Chains A and B, each alone.
Chain A
Amino acid sequence: DQQVKQNSPSLSVQEGRISILNCDYTNSMFDYFLWYKKYPAEGPTFLISISSIKDKNEDGRFTVFLNKSAKHLSLHIVPSQPGDSAVYFCAASAYERDDKIIFGKGTRLHILP
């Protein structure tokens, strides 16, 4: 049973445009959400996170939106740059309940010139 779902395996976006990566979750106990970025032959690196008490968190070109009622979050990258081409993982945890983080399968983002 996949608790964190990234339904788009890949996404292509023109350089300079907005990239929107989506993530859905099923476990209502999740209260902390993270996005990680992964380049080939490297480990994932933390990008941005959001607590369930917020509905938006912004860090430079990256913004994460959380819709708790829909159990949906999205990562917006604007403007998209060539270096953003990578695999993006959505992850979630029930911060106060246990010590594991559940990852989605990832979305491969291609930024087109």
Chain B
Amino acid sequence: DSGVTQTPKHLITATGQRVTLRCSPRSGDLSVYWYQQSLDQGLQFLIHYYNGEERAKGNILERFSAQQFPDLHSELNLSSLELGDSALYFCASGRPRGAPTAISYNEQFFGPGTRLTVL
């Protein structure tokens, strides 16, 4: 158990709809990262939040948005869903508060993922 929780575990919805995926980081971690894993694809980095602020963006579509709340949990919002958005969405956390500025900042702890199916 990584200490990172993601809800829901599975989500089935229709094209054109909007969904929200939720992530609770490990206790004390300030960073939340979102990834998408499609069939035959690696983990595609979407976005990184650190202590409530956006720190880096990857291949995130304009239809997708994310935020990190004061309690450090994060939500990934996916709108105008298309069939191609069906994928596993992982959240990872890292960078515990008070950690030294060391390489260990880049170690991430992944949640179990949310499987999104768009029909």
Contacts and interface: CB of A to CB of B under 8 A. Distances in A.
A46 B108 contact: yes
A98 B56 contact: yes
Given A89-B42, A89-B43, A46 B112 contact: no
A106 B56 contact: no
A105 interface: yes
Contact of A43 (B40, B55, B56, B90): B90
B12 interface: no
A106 B111 CA distance: 18
Contacts of B92: 43-44
Contacts of A36: 110
A91 B42 CA distance: 10
Contacts of A34: 106-107
A105 B48 contact: no
Nearest to A50: B103
A105 B44 CA distance: 9
Contacts of A65: none
B113 interface: yes
B103 A102 contact: no
B58 interface: yes
A25 interface: no
B45 A103 contact: yes
A61 to B, nearest CB: 19
A70 interface: no
Nearest to B55: A99
B42 A101 contact: no
Interface string B98-112: 000001011111111
Contacts of B111: 43
Interface of A: 4, 6, 32, 34, 36, 41-46, 49, 51, 89, 91, 93, 95, 98-106
Interface of B: 2, 4, 31, 33, 35, 40-45, 48, 50, 55-58, 90, 92, 103, 105-113
| Among all A-B residue pairs, the 3 with the closest Cβ atoms | A43-B110, A105-B42, A103-B43
14 contacts: A6-B42, A42-B113, A43-B2, A43-B4, A43-B90, A44-B90, A49-B107, A99-B48, A99-B55, A101-B106, A103-B42, A103-B43, A103-B45, A106-B42
